[in-house]
Structure 1
Amino acid sequence: MLLTVLGGCGVWPAAGQACSGYLVEHDGFRLLIDPGYATVPRLLERVGADQIDAVFVSHGHPDHCADLNPLLRARTMLENPAAPLPVYAPPGALDAVLALDRPGVLTGSYVLRDVVPDIGPFRVRTRLLPHSVPNVGIRLTAGGQVLVYTGDSGPSPDRVELARDADLLLAEATYVDQVPKGSLLTSARQAGRQAREAAARHLLLTHLQPGTAPAAARAAAATAYDGEIGVATSGLVIDVQEIR
């Protein structure tokens, strides 16, 4: 299983960067997770729009789904339009982004599904995690390897359970240490604690708010977790098999 980070900024894309976007590949199948702001140009540097086999969107905030629009445009406006793209998302999460175009432009370019079965070669388990809008964390298993992605969420026992014994935990960590009161988001320190509780082998922090020093986020996570810690940045590629 191969993970390519297209972007890892939270909230908005910093200069030269992109928001949440992750390409996961196994046995020739390409799953795009969370096409946030500015991710499609980076995706198209690697593969054609018509080479994506499915999309999973954790929740409807635009830093996680805004670039679904250009992806669908790129597929449907080809000389030979691509087959309808399976798109998995919580109910209603994509209403706004799918309404960006005038009626009919994207007709036939996607099949929207709010129930996530197994996807291609990936065995899938999902869990609704706490956030300001419905947010679905996902656990992908393929070839004996496990990748877990939290989307955005406040700390939760369900987040730990979803990540149990994962090879790679891709965890939202918007803040370094202190999370503003009432915010259903997670700090790097909390992400480290949850990675330890889940016995995850590798922790990859993502969704850092622009201006956050990656070294500070890693250091905060390391106060609770003694495994390998990275920060998701555009262009980072991880072969999950090599973690085992």
Structure 2
Amino acid sequence: MKLTVLGGRGAWPTADAACSGYLVEHGGHRLLVDPGYAVFPQLLRHLRPGDVDAVLVTHGHPDHCADLNPLLRARALADPPSPPLPLYAPAGALDAVLALDRPGMLRGAYELRAFDPETEPEFATGPFRVGTRALPHHVTNAGLRLTAGGRVLAYTGDTGPTPALAELAGAADLFLAEATYPEEVPAEDAPYLSSARQAGEHAARAGAERLLLTHVWPEADPAAALAAARRGYDGATEVARPGTVVEVGTG
């Protein structure tokens, strides 16, 4: 299983980094996870729009799904159009982004496969088994546990601290963890977002082999996030940057 980071900033993109966006590949299958702001141009560095096999979205905030729109436009307006793209997301999460275009413009460009992380804990797409956990955020958010080829990639989406993270990331080969702030989350957001320090602590509790910090606030220092995470976790740790490639399970 291979992960390619397309973006790793939270809230809005910067001049050199897109928001959340990840390409996960195994056995020739290409799964796009959380195509947030400015992810589509980064995706084009690796694939043509028609090469994406499925999209998986954790929640409906635009820094996790806004660039689904240009991806679907590129597929729908191609000559000939690309086949319908399976879209997996919590129910209602994609309503706003799918309504951006005139009615019917994207008809046939996608197949929406909504799921409920509370009641549908597992499904399959291509070679991936997708385990889901409802994690606390401002809107419904699905933590993801992707399994393929005997390897495990766990991803938080955006989440506040919860014991469910230890289960989600238990013995994962790679834990892709939201780390919006380095040390402390502002009080009003503390139930719904995490710090790099907390991400490190969760990785340690889960026994994850490797930690990749993501969703770093655009004005935050990635080096500070890395240092904060390493105070609670002594495994391999990096900050997600565009172009980062991880062969999951190879140390």
* Secondary structure of 1:31's aligned partner: strand
| Structure 1 residue 77 displacement after superposition | 0.6
* TM-score, normalised by the number of residues in structure 2: 0.95
Take 1:238 and 1:111, find their aligned partners in 2: how far apart are those partners?
Answer: 29
Q: Please report how far the alpha carbon of residue 113 of structure 1 lies from its aligned counterpart in structure 2 after TM superposition.
A: 1.0
Give CA-to-partner distance per residue, 1:79-105, whole Å, 9 cap, x none: 011110000011111111111101011
- 1:164-179 equivalences under 5 Å are 164-179=170-185
SS at match of 1:241: coil
Structure 1 unaligned segments of length 5 or more: list them.
Answer: none
Which has the larger share of strand?
A: 2
User: Aligned residue pairs: how many?
Assistant: 243
Q: Which residue of 2 aligns with 1:83?
A: 83
CA displacement, residues 52-101 of structure 1 (integer Å, 9 cap, x when unaligned): 00000000000000000000001111101111000001111111111110
Distance in structure 2 (CA, Å) of the matches to 1:46 and 1:185? 30
Aligned AA (1:100): L
Q: 2:218 — aligned with what?
A: 210
Structure 2 runs not aligned, ≥5 long: 116-121
Shift of 1:16: 2.2
Partner Cα separation in structure 1 for residue 143 and residue 57 of structure 2 = 9
Which moves more between the two structures, 51-60 or 212-221? 212-221
Rounded Cα–Cα distance in structure 2 between residues aligned with 1:90 and 1:170 = 19
Equivalent residue runs for 1:108-187 within 5 Å: 108-115=108-115, 117-183=123-189, 184-187=192-195
Q: Distance in 1 between the 2:225 and 2:17 partners?
A: 18
> Aligned-residue CA RMSD in angstroms?
0.8
What TM-score results when the alignment is normalised by the length of structure 1?
Answer: 0.98
CA distance in 2, matches of 1:160, 1:132: 21
Partners of 2:196 and 2:226 within 8 A in 1: yes
Indicate the SS of the match to 2:9. Answer: coil
Paired residue secondary structure (2:187): coil
By how many angstroms is 1:191 displaced? Answer: 0.4
Question: What is residue 197 of structure 2 aligned with on the other side?
Answer: 189
Q: Where in structure 1 do 4 or more consecutive aligned residues deviate above 2 Å?
A: none
Shift of 1:241: 3.3
Q: Aligned residue for 1:227?
A: 235
- The alpha-carbon deviation at position 214 of structure 1 amounts to 1.3
Question: CA shift at 1:182, angstroms?
Answer: 2.7
> 8 Å contact 2:174–2:249 — kept in the other structure?
no
Partner of 1:42: 42
Are residue 27 (structure 1) and residue 8 (structure 2) matched? no
Task: Assess if the C-alpha contact under 8 Å between 2:84 and 2:110 holds in 1.
Answer: yes
